[in-house]
Structure 1
Amino acid sequence: MPATPDAARLVTCPPEVFRHASEEALAKARSGIERFKSLPAPRNPREALEIYDEATAALSDASARASVVRHSHPDAAMRQSAETSEQELENLATEISLDRGVYDVIASLDVSQEDAPTRKWVEKLLRDFRRSGVDRDQATRNRVKALQEELVRIGQEFDRNIRGDVRTVELPPSALDGLPADYVRSHPPGPDGKVRITTDYPDLVPFMTYARDGSAREKLWRANRSRAYPRNVAVLQSLLERRHELATLLGYASWAAYATEDKMIRSERNAGDFIEKIAAASGERCRRDYQTLLERKRKDEPGASQVDPWDQGFLDDRVKAEQYSFDSQAIRPYFEYTRVKQGVLDLTSQLFGVSYRRLPDAPVWHPDVEAYDIFQGETQVGRFYLDMHPRADKYKHAAQFTLATGKQDRRLPEAVLMCNFPKPGAEPALMLHRDVETFFHEFGHLLHHLFGGHTRWAGLSGVRTEWDFVEAPSQMLEEWARDVGALQTFAKHYQSGESLPAETIQRMRRADDFGKGLHVRQQMFYAALSLELYRREPKGLDTTALVRELQGKYTPFPYVEGTYFHLSFGHLDGYSAIYYTYMWSLVIAKDLFTVFQDKGMLNPEPAQAYRRAVLEPGGSKDAALLVKDFLGRDYDFRAYETWLNAG
């Protein structure tokens, strides 16, 4: 039987206990690797792989805990301890990846009689060792190790500068004209008569959507687009230069070439072609969307010649209200946070045949955090934590973090959702519909980690598929946030209890089709920026000039001088060159969704077939084969094209 989940014990402890646990993980990994290398030939492949799997799992789980602490713990000493530990753990992982003795033992194992997942894993291990430079000379391996260690430190600094830079603008109370009443009440004027609006999402997004004062929107937009400036100017440059040096040292033309090689897309050229294909397909729709926004702006400003970027959210909302009869403010009362949370739990429980049990006494690292166990019948599937509201020094976006990697009959998977949704309190925590979609999206990642966390090898567990497939299961779960039947199970007015009318949901869906061209082109700007930053020669590269060039190419919004969006674009560290994966995965997600369109959104039969075919195998098969197992055919672009052209 797997051990009871308790990874949070090592996230809620004092810094010295956390450090000690990290040191124990380092010692366990080192000991296991030495034992692995000393196995006499001929080696039993199952015995050898078990030793290697446990050693590397100890390392990756300790690193995962450190990442959770670094991104979310309220105590600065704990965050610093986690940064130090994470560097040491990642350094050992690099050392192992460059250890020719480890590689030689894996290469010597005869796995021809083992099952397909084991053969797949060994094949992947050997490929990854070669990609790390294990077969290079000692001088090259030494330099690779030094670069990898430096990159861990630089990445942490890049993220820390984003996380720690929350900006505030001071505005007259009149700037709140157009905002919902609960928002206005929660932003009373200070002693100086000014209201203060921050760049945290619960402040930023409603303000940019509803504030009628264009100059106030511009002020907040500029503040948000200046986060992490100037600190990340040099940090980003170091990130680009070190990754380029590492890639060329390993024989690749660029970091983009290195980063795409082991993905579904296979090459940076294919990634670039994909971006251009999607940009071309959405170009005319983008042009029409922009023209509609400009015409709407001219109602307020007859001489307007362009739509500024701080106008987009506001004008988009106005067009939807006036031309599609959809008022996004009117549906906020139907999306109170606690109801949305329960709705996500109830829907996924019904679809996937599981139940959730709240753990009110579980150790947590902040009072806002909630713990849950997930069961199938009386069999525990895993544990997860919801850390859903903003606070100082916490991760600023929305993501699922691994807390523990699951393994069949040994460990249950554990995960954390880290988001920044409105917090219930004196005012009801009313969400925008896009927040509801984000909740479903991140919960899709969480279920993938938990359901896929029961593989024979930890090295294949959870979301360890090709990276450009990882977003597909999460994007597909968003569809339930747009379905009439699904929404009406939980979207109820927080005061009256009335269900969100089906007619309103249908108007919302029709309105959502507006702006799709602009959205897709904006995503292609992000994708092209991440790719080009990492496939151009970094020496002398003016990153701001590149933003200016690509924004002009892919979007109709002019670059605004004196802003530095890329310095707070956190994906440039984690995703590096492969932001294209969001749209690549969406193509697959739209195809996967066709099965549910045919068989019923609330029908557990396709959901559980999908769970078995796509989620539970983790990284045991190529992603294309997982999709084929579920669809009964290869995936294609037809469903995506239907979605892109809808409306």
Structure 2
Amino acid sequence: MFKKSILILAASCMMYSCTTQTENNPFFTEFQTPNGVPPFDQIKLEHYEPAFLKGIEEQNAKIQSIVDNDEAPTFENVIVALDNSSPMLDRVGGVFHNMTEAETTDELTELSIRIAPVLSEHEDNIYLNQGLFKKVNAVYQQKESLGLNSEQQRLLEKKYKEFVRSGANLPADKQARLREINKQLSTLSITFTNNTLNENNAFKLFIDKQEDLAGLPEWFCQSAAEEAKADGQEGKWLFTLHNASRLPFLQYSANRPLREKMYKAYINRGNNNDKNDNKKILSDIISLRLEKARLMGFDCYANFVLDTKMAKNSTNVMDFLNNLWGYALPKAKTEAAELQKLMDKEGKGEKLEAWDWWYYTEKLRKEKFNLEEEDIKPYFKLENVREGAFAVANKLYGITLTKLEGIPVYHPDVEVFEVKANDGSQVGIFYVDYFPRSGKSGGAWMSNYREQQAGVRPLVCNVCSFTKPVGDTPSLLTIDEVETLFHEFGHALHGLLTQCQYKGTSGTNVVRDFVELPSQINEHWATEPEVLKMYAKHYQTGEVIPDSLIEKILKQKTFNQGFMTTELLAAAILDMNLHTLTDTRGIDVVAYEKEAMDRLGLIPQIAPRYRTTYFNHIIGGYEAGYYSYLWANVLDNDAFEAFKEHGIFDKQTADLFRQNVLEKGDSEDPMTLYKNFRGAEPQLDPMLKNRGMK
């Protein structure tokens, strides 16, 4: 997942009184550190708000100078000046945004709720500034005669559309209402995501009887014992809703009632009618988004969002998703029938339920492929997997990553690497933060502390929630976690290797349905036999993964893909359904979700990958955009065909991908970039074949 370090952090109270001494606020100047990295050892809670407020003042002054400039409006004195107008806000926003996701506290949450409306108002003040828009429009109207290159044309187009889509052409009364909507959305979004985090942390399944651990691997029990001890319950075992705990529990626990308890706790997050309930919050968000879309002249919010994306409109997206549904659901039903047969063999008379899927899928994997996750985990020591991802990047793009010591970090788990080109020049700095914590949001993402532009090297981070080390046993990853590491590193490569002139077009500043291409194509190398032999080594013996295991891994690549694709599709369709509504009065989002899934014919053993009350993606930038993972999956599978045709480390193919995708950022239309690499538009067949649907 990609998360941009945006200034509108999702969400408040103008001119909060700041009495804290700020003379030594590290955000007030460029960071006085090697490579300009954030000085986490100096940054304190009280530094953020003064820096936001001073950053707003700084940007206001820069914008006023653009407006007051008596010279004729040009690309340089308007568009470039605007692109470079927020250095302090960029510094504080980049750090603060990631901290609220990776290492939040109650104090940070309170501050985010307080500062978000301030930032929302500031953004509106920029885009509704008629003097500034007049200058932008003046440059835009001359675009054909300015002799701009493709990147400059793209930046000009983006800036102009940002103003129009932010209400610059609306009458005053509609602009005023738009401001109120944006403020409300900013605080509602923060509350939603914070509630989800609280729900994750609130559930604790303590087990105090050895027999209730039946089926669970020893390493997992040992980890759960350490978690219980850390929680003050020594002698027990603690299991939580974090992926690294929940998924192995569902996968291996022979205790069906406990599996049900774990599963239901997960799918009912935000839907418990308590202080963390998200139903009313989401219904308000959906209603406000619809109102905003109508103010902007669109019939629904999805069409407002998609107007600037590759997909263009909701009809194209729904046609795409419904087409895939016709392949995925039948395969999922076939898989469910296989699992039911497996259950029937046990003679218990039990009917397959959602909390049984992972457990019996693991049993079926063993039966069909003589393979269990436990057979391959010893070969996937986290550090080795990471070095494998780095080695792939070296062979493809000639870069090397070397660990740096003494760099300030916000948590002991964080490690930092210097990225260099093959000529020894520095490309950027890369942070990794891999283990779950109570203050960390679930899932995985890439973000920036500093974005690349001419003369500025990027600072990029990956944040994940992988299986933690236990005692003397290192972190051993599942196949899914291995692919997630490669996925997020693919996003990082997009942010690190970009070669753009302007911040607004660099790296991951691309449309949402293109941003997942670099991440998802990078996953393909993770399980290529040649690559596995580079990094998959037994953590105890150093033995390279044997061919017999590689063969089994490859044979089961399409195993359970009906389930995986169907749950992803269900969430993407749910997202689109919510955002194509044209009447949201009195909406009950949970009831609406059930109606939508019933219409699809989704089987009861599968829930959408994200249900409405904890669907953080559609709060944090993927609203009317969750389809992007599947849209980009068409691109990445088609793109990897080029590597398979010429060799997975073919230099010419790698150079084409680097030069036309990774380096280009958003400097040209994404389909143009793709066709420049591939020579044609993408085909659907490679994706269907790789998911076992054709």
Q: Same fold (TM over 0.5)?
A: yes
Say if 1:359 and 1:373, in contact at 8 Å, map to a contact too: yes
Sort the Cα spacing of 1:543 and 1:559 in 2 relative to 1 into closer, same or farther, 3 A. farther
The alignment's C-alpha RMSD in Å is 2.3
Moved more, 598-607 or 185-194: 185-194
Q: Which residue of 1 aligns with 2:628?
A: 581
Sort the Cα spacing of 1:564 and 1:417 in 2 relative to 1 into closer, same or farther, 3 A. closer
What do the CA deviations read for 1:44-80 (whole angstroms, capped 9, x no partner)?
A: 3223322111115654554332211211235543454
Letter in 1 for 2:254: R
> Is the partner of 1:108 in helix, strand or coil?
helix
Find 2:107's aligned residue among 58, 77, 80.
77
Q: Which residue of 1 aligns with 2:689?
A: 642
Q: Which residue of 2 aligns with 1:527?
A: 572
Moved more, 229-238 or 80-89: 80-89
Find 1:215's aligned residue among 257, 278, 288.
257
- Distance in 2 of aligned mates of 1:173 and 1:344: 39
- Distance in 2 of aligned mates of 1:485 and 1:554: 41
Say if 2:388 and 2:535, in contact at 8 Å, map to a contact too: yes
Moved more, 184-193 or 111-120: 184-193
Letter in 1 for 2:612: H
Q: Which residue of 2 aligns with 1:340?
A: 385
Say if 1:5 and 1:414, in contact at 8 Å, map to a contact too: no
Q: Which residue of 2 aligns with 1:15?
A: 45
Say if 2:327 and 2:693, in contact at 8 Å, map to a contact too: no
1:311 aligns with 2:347: no
Cα offset for 1:301?
4.3
Moved more, 361-370 or 168-177: 168-177
Q: Which residue of 2 aligns with 1:279?
A: 325
1:251 aligns with 2:281: no
Cα offset for 1:143?
1.1
Letter in 2 for 1:200: H
What do the CA deviations read for 1:385-419 (whole angstroms, capped 9, x no partner)?
A: 1111111121111111222121111x221122111
What do the CA deviations read for 1:220-279 (whole angstroms, capped 9, x no partner)?
A: 111112223332122112211211111112221121121111111111121111111110
Cα offset for 1:423?
2.4
- Distance in 2 of aligned mates of 1:192 and 1:32: 58
Say if 2:66 and 2:77, in contact at 8 Å, map to a contact too: no
Say if 1:61 and 1:405, in contact at 8 Å, map to a contact too: no
Find 1:118's aligned residue among 152, 158, 168.
152
Identity of aligned residues (%): 25
Say if 2:105 and 2:439, in contact at 8 Å, map to a contact too: no
Cα offset for 1:358?
1.6
Sort the Cα spacing of 1:91 and 1:378 in 2 relative to 1 into closer, same or farther, 3 A. farther
- Distance in 1 of aligned mates of 2:260 and 2:235: 20
> Is the partner of 1:385 in helix, strand or coil?
strand
> Is the partner of 2:594 in helix, strand or coil?
helix
Find 2:137's aligned residue among 103, 107, 122.
107
Cα offset for 1:95?
2.1
Sort the Cα spacing of 1:185 and 1:73 in 2 relative to 1 into closer, same or farther, 3 A. closer
1:168 aligns with 2:204: yes
Say if 1:472 and 1:585, in contact at 8 Å, map to a contact too: yes
Q: Which residue of 1 aligns with 2:336?
A: 290
- Distance in 1 of aligned mates of 2:234 and 2:641: 56
Say if 1:358 and 1:370, in contact at 8 Å, map to a contact too: yes
Q: Which residue of 2 aligns with 1:63?
A: 93
Moved more, 566-575 or 420-429: 420-429
Cα offset for 1:554?
4.9
Say if 1:353 and 1:608, in contact at 8 Å, map to a contact too: no
Find 2:438's aligned residue among 392, 398, 422.
392
Say if 2:112 and 2:190, in contact at 8 Å, map to a contact too: no
Letter in 2 for 1:224: Y
1:234 aligns with 2:264: no
Letter in 2 for 1:169: L
Aligned pairs for 1:464-503 within 5 A: 464-503=509-548
- Unaligned runs of 5+ residues in structure 1 are none
> Is the partner of 1:373 in helix, strand or coil?
strand
Sort the Cα spacing of 1:79 and 1:370 in 2 relative to 1 into closer, same or farther, 3 A. farther
1:45 aligns with 2:75: yes
Say if 1:472 and 1:589, in contact at 8 Å, map to a contact too: yes
Cα offset for 1:501?
1.4
What do the CA deviations read for 1:607-631 (whole angstroms, capped 9, x no partner)?
A: 2321111111100011101111111
Say if 1:406 and 1:462, in contact at 8 Å, map to a contact too: yes
What do the CA deviations read for 1:361-393 (whole angstroms, capped 9, x no partner)?
A: 111111111112211132211112111111112
Letter in 2 for 1:332: K
Aligned pairs for 1:241-640 within 5 A: 241-305=287-351, 307-376=352-421, 377-409=423-455, 411-426=456-471, 427-452=473-498, 454-536=499-581, 537-552=583-598, 553-558=600-605, 565-574=611-620, 575-640=622-687
What do the CA deviations read for 1:526-570 (whole angstroms, capped 9, x no partner)?
A: 00111111222222112112222333425322589xx99421221
TM-score (norm 2): 0.88
Sort the Cα spacing of 1:594 and 1:58 in 2 relative to 1 into closer, same or farther, 3 A. farther
1:197 aligns with 2:212: no
